[in-house]
A and B are shown apart, each in its own frame.
Chain A
Amino acid sequence: MKVRLLEGEMQLLKALEKLNGEAYDERLVSETGWPSDKVTTMALNMSERGIVKVSVEEEVWIWLTDEGLRYARMGLPERRILEQAMAKGGVEISKLERVEDWEKPIGLAWLRRKGWGVIRGGRVEAAGEFPKGADEKLIELIASKGKVRLTELPEELRKTVKTLRSRRLVETGKVTRRLISLTELGWGVLRGDVEVLEEVSRLTRDLIVSGRWRSVVLKKYDVSLPSYRIPIGRLHFWRDILNHIRRVWVEMGFKEMEGPILETCFWDYDALYVPQDHPARDLQDTFYVKTPGRGRLPSPEFVDKIRQTHEDGWTTGSIGWGYKWDVEEAKRTLLRTHTTAVSVRTLAALKEAELPAKFFSVGRVFRNEKPDRTHLCEFYQTEGIVVDENANMKHLVGYLKEFFKRLGFPEARFRPAYFPYTEPSLEVEVYHPPTGRWIELGGAGIFRPEVVKPLLGRDIPVLAWGLGPERMVMLNYGLKDIRELVMNDLEMLRRAPVWMG
């Protein structure tokens, strides 16, 4: 016969042996110094293997209420009334001493009920001398012990408990205790008659190093129990998407370009052939900057080409916007309204020898809007340009289809659109399989000669397209309110499924 024993169980068996093979759980707690739930769990575990027997006992305990304690000290109110009536041969109720007003109705009622006396015209007459009743004896007994078990009471007093409880002089409560006793098997284990297999829950370094792991049994776990939560660190789910977009650009051979958030009107608007009275340049739409208020412009020769292009088209073949261009307006600073400002700076710095060239940017842009469910005043844009002598609309459409396919949209279609700096201009709609809808996702076009020639010296085709990644995040995570993106709710950040693009 073999028996599995877990760590510590032998210790509990030995404690039981010392207590002659039988003890209540509280005794074992004091014997072992373990928490009581550990003792109980261990005993119940061993009882399943027949090593010990656990019998549950419920005991009723009795103790006095505050009122009961008072009567234990002073005597029942009917006893106090009887004594005074005896001593004085009847007594006026109003003259009673050591009896509180609230005790009077109680005392008088019980006096009459016990037949100790009569009440007539406000006087109490005693009916004789009476010895202590069972109720008084019980109160004395409980008071002397503080708390007694029902089973400890003499037979004749047990019935009285009910009376006292109805007078709310005592309270009773049930307490469960377990009597743990060694079985034959248990005695056998202690005697060494039964072979013991040691079972352990935790595989320790000591077990491994000592080789004891060979002789112990590793306890089987409930592998389906719920796990605890790990405090993790991870990237923002929005970063996943931005990184994915970056990767797509790089895969397609685009080099990342960078530009400042704090920008001049010159680079954000004028160099893009956006006329100075264009509505987008209103205070209503653009965040202008008070400090620092005015920026420096590039070389006067270059600025002059921009001026002429706006005024009469310069040598671009255009008639221009036909207004007087204001250099001071171009010096104003703003928070860039689009990443196209970055593209323009890149074009201005591009050398002929670097052609053909492809660039992309991912960055924050700003619009003077009050944030609501569909607008943020600060959001991301990504944009790419292709500078290539032979670039054309077929290429643009080709790049766009490939780009959006890699972003996770199998189909893209195009509509004519308008941007002041591209011609032709396109609106890109992509097919979103989960919803089965076509969604407007980006803009595209070929930069106008009025933009390109002042920047590059001649009119080289520059394809450009871009999109707002927030739209993709919202589609992917089913967000209804764009502001959720900047809330940084840690529960959402910790739990959001990873982007599978």
Chain B
Amino acid sequence: MPVIRVGLEDFRRLVGLRLSLSRLREEIPMMGLGWERDDPEGFEVEVFPNRPDMLSPEGLARAYKGFIGLERGVPDYVVKRGFYEAYVDAAVKSVRPYIAFATIKNVPMDEEVFKSIIQIQEKLHISYCRNRRKGSIGVHDLDKLKPPVRYTVKPLNFRFRPLDSEEEMSIREILRRHPKGVEYGHLLSGFKYCPILEDSQGMVLSMPPVINSEYTRVTLETKNLFIDCTGLDWKTVNSILNIIATSLAERGCQIYTVKIHYPYDTPVGKEVETPDLAPSEMKLPLSLVDKVFGEHLDAEEVVKLLAKMRFDAVKLSERELLVKVPAYRVDIMHPVDLVEDVIIAYGYNRIEPEIPQFATIGGESLLERFSSKVRSIMVGLGYQEVMTEVLTNPRDLFVKMRVKAGPVVELENPKTVEYTVCRSWLLPSLMKVLARNRHREYPQRIFEVDDVVILDENSETGGRSLRKLAAVSIHSEADYAEVKAVVDTFLEILAVEHRVEPGIHPSFIEGRTGFIKTLKGETIGFLGEIHPEVLINFGLENPTVGFEIDLEAVMRLKGFGRRP
């Protein structure tokens, strides 16, 4: 989740109060932000992904002023009709169909404002804009360009001077060599033409969503801004435009619209004027507030709490409010989102705790109850429980155990070679534990009761978890008689009638390997003396014996039924 940096002096200036860090440290988290760290110059807060409107000091200050009662309700932004126009070419429709603009005048540019303009673009890009895929922003020095602008496409050999470059480059070169081209070029891969925004003189403003041009660079001398937002859907494009425009308005700038001529339909027609900062409206049933909150709140109280969160609300009836949602609040999709803000404004820690009195019957699952029994039997037999991971790799799971690679659940995108598949049996996990404990006191007797994951065509996911028990014993005297005694005793305690038949398993010594069968002939496990080659593979120097049992098969035998 994105973290933004806020200068303390700048924040004091925006709020208009000599705020102390200790006060902010207390209050800001209660608005729904994570306090990351602070220093005498400023602080860093984590902004939750549903509130991109707080990705700037201006947006944060706006919310904070409401929260502490300095300002109330929807901020009143004056949007003046501008005379600038923009034209969209039909060719962009298949590449990056939507664009929206705003003109911002009289920016009180200084270091802090400059940093904020950079920060909000960067943070919006990585979070809400999904790394520029859904939307991207270009901020330009208005006085360096000549409207009207045109949103069009150009072939790959088209040249202009991208930001931070000494020379002109072709689009192809930018995508190949320019750092931003390398980073975001994949968003344009496969296209023979790339989107270009140019002014009336043919001067390039930007190549969305990759890079701006050097010609319209914003500097500390910039007074007026021209903003473009492009993207794949109309809503995202306008959301980010509104967030940036209103943030700058918090600095006292004036917002002017831009008239855009589309050759194709947008959700609001072909002739469009942006930004549209008119609040949207949502009905809020007061019963929903009471229901979620758990106590009755008067309509007046709810209106007051909403105003604290910068909404305007009026009573439609005794049962319903009409809430005006500011254009920068992109997270309000259901009345319940308004209810949450009401409760945040009320204060989470002022809520009276209450536990309702009604009866429900608690209980552990059969599988866990059975697993607990098994664990206590194994502990009684002198075995130490270990807890290992489900994720492993074919080397540990098969090769070191001398068995042929079998069917296994395999990851698509592992990050390390250590974890690439899910274990299909438990013994290899225990051998790894023994390998790690070579320097620890012997004898070592360990067991694990846990899940493996096996492929199963009948399951809706193509595989399923299976609960198993495995145990190993390593010491100078370990032999088949020991493990046979443990297996027999274990199954005797569970009253499972069984017999052990000779068989072949490459992990065990031939002639010292047994398969555990029920009287009906179902194989439920195996046991034996671990093959010396396996011991060497795990760096072990003492005889080792072990066994593995399918606990779900045992549960079925005992009439416990099948695992859900």
Chain A residues engaging chain B, CB cutoff 8 angstroms: 229, 231-236, 238-239, 243, 246, 249-264, 277, 279, 283, 287-298, 313, 316-323, 333, 335, 356-358, 362, 364, 366, 368-371, 377-378, 388, 390-395, 397-402, 413-418, 423-426, 446, 448-450, 461, 485-491, 493-494
Q: Which residue of B lies closest to A368 (CB)?
A: B415
Q: List 14 A-B contacts (CB under 8 A).
A: A231-B441, A235-B375, A262-B461, A263-B461, A283-B413, A320-B333, A358-B360, A366-B391, A393-B292, A394-B295, A394-B351, A402-B355, A416-B31, A487-B436
Nearest to A252 among chain B residues (CB) is B362
Q: Is B42 part of the contact surface with A, judged by Cβ < 8 Å?
A: no
Query: In the bound complex, how far is the Cα of B46 from the Cα of A217, in angstroms?
Result: 77
Contact partners of B207 in chain A: CB under 8 A: none
Q: Is the CB of B465 within 8 A of A490?
A: no
The answer to whether B362 and A260 have CB atoms under 8 Å apart is no
Task: Tell yes or no: B184 within 8 A of A by CB.
Answer: no
Complex Cα distance, B232 from A323, in Å, reads 10
- B386: A residues at CB distance < 8 A: 236, 488, 493
How far does the Cβ of A93 sit from chain B's closest Cβ, in whole Å?
62
A368 CB to nearest B CB, Å: 6
Known: A261-B453, A277-B130. 20 other contacts (CB 8 A): A232-B384, A234-B385, A250-B363, A256-B364, A258-B367, A262-B463, A264-B460, A283-B413, A292-B462, A313-B334, A321-B333, A322-B233, A357-B360, A394-B354, A395-B355, A402-B355, A415-B32, A448-B336, A490-B437, A491-B440
A498 to chain B, nearest CB (A): 13
Measured between alpha carbons, how far is A298 from B460 in the docked complex, in Å? 9
Chain B residues, CB < 8 A from A335: 391, 411, 422
What residues on A are CB-neighbors of B106 within 8 Å? Answer: none
- Contact B352 A394, beta carbon cutoff 8 Å: yes
Classify the interface of chain B: helix, strand, loop or mixed: loop
B409–A416 contact, CB under 8 A?
no
The distance in angstroms between the C-alpha atoms of A183 and B31, with both chains bound, is 95
Q: Please determine whether B440 and A364 come into contact, CB atoms closer than 8 angstroms.
A: no
B348 interface residue per 8 A CB criterion: yes
Does B441 lie within 8 Å of A233, measured CB to CB? no
Give the contact stretch, choosing among B159-167, B212-220, B338-346: B338-346
Question: In the complex, A446→B293 CA distance in Å?
Answer: 11
Report chain B residues within 8 Å CB of A295. 460-462
B436→A489 contact, CB < 8 A: yes
A236-B387, A415-B29, A493-B384 known; A256+B334 contact, CB < 8 A: no
Q: Which of A258, A260, A378, A487 contacts B461 (CB 8 A)?
A: A260
Does B411 contact A288, Cβ atoms closer than 8 Å?
yes
* A235 to B, closest residue via Cβ: B385
Chain A residue with Cβ nearest B358? A356
B371 CB, min distance to chain A CBs, angstroms: 10
Roughly how many angstroms separate A88 CA and B8 CA in the complex, as a whole number?
115
Question: Looking at B31, B50, B335, B386, which has the most chain A CB atoms within 10 Å of its CB?
Answer: B386
Going nearest first, the 8 A-B pairs with the smallest beta carbon separation are A292-B462, A392-B294, A416-B32, A394-B294, A418-B48, A398-B353, A318-B334, A424-B340
- Interface status of B443 (Cβ within 8 A of chain A): yes
B453 CB contact (under 8 Å) in A232, A262, A400: A262
Partner of B410, one of A290, A362, A369: A290
How far does the alpha carbon of A246 sit from the alpha carbon of B368 in the complex, in Å? 10
- A15 and B409 CA atoms in complex are apart in Å by 76
Listed residue (B348, B390, B391, B444) with the most chain A CB atoms within 10 angstroms of its CB: B348
A256 touches B462 (CB 8 A): no
Q: Separation in Å of the A74 CB from the closest CB of chain B?
A: 52
Q: Could you say which of A231, A233, A250, A322 contacts B378, with CB atoms under 8 Å apart?
A: A233
> B337 an interface residue at 8 Å Cβ cutoff?
yes
Contact of B363 among A255, A369, A494 (CB under 8 A): A255
Q: A370, B292: Cβ atoms under 8 Å?
A: no
Find out whether the CB atom of A393 lies under 8 angstroms from the CB atom of B461: no
B 220-237 binary contact with A (CB < 8 Å = 1; else 0): 000000000000010100
Q: How far is the CB of B487 from chain A (nearest CB, A)?
A: 16
Chain B residues with CB under 8 A of A392? 291-295
Considering the chains assembled together, what is the distance between the CA atoms of A483 and B259 in angstroms?
Answer: 58
The interface residues of chain B lying within 8 Å CB-to-CB of A279 are: 49, 127, 130
- Given the contacts A262-B463, A289-B409, A446 and B436 also touching, CB distance less than 8 Å: no
Query: Which residue on chain B has the smallest CB distance to residue A261?
Result: B465
Residue in chain B with minimal CB distance to A447: B336
Do B365 and A257 have beta carbons less than 8 Å apart?
yes
A362 to B368, CA, bound (A): 10
B364 pairs with A264, CB closer than 8 A: no
Q: In whole Å, how far is B434's beta carbon from the nearest beta carbon of chain A?
A: 9
Do the beta carbons of A250 and B362 come within 8 Å of each other?
A: yes
| Complex CA–CA separation, A129 to B387 (angstroms) | 91
Instruction: Please pick, from A258, A393, A398, A418, the residue contacting B32 in the complex, using a CB distance under 8 A.
Output: A418
Question: What's the Cα separation between A450 and B334 when bound, in Å?
Answer: 9
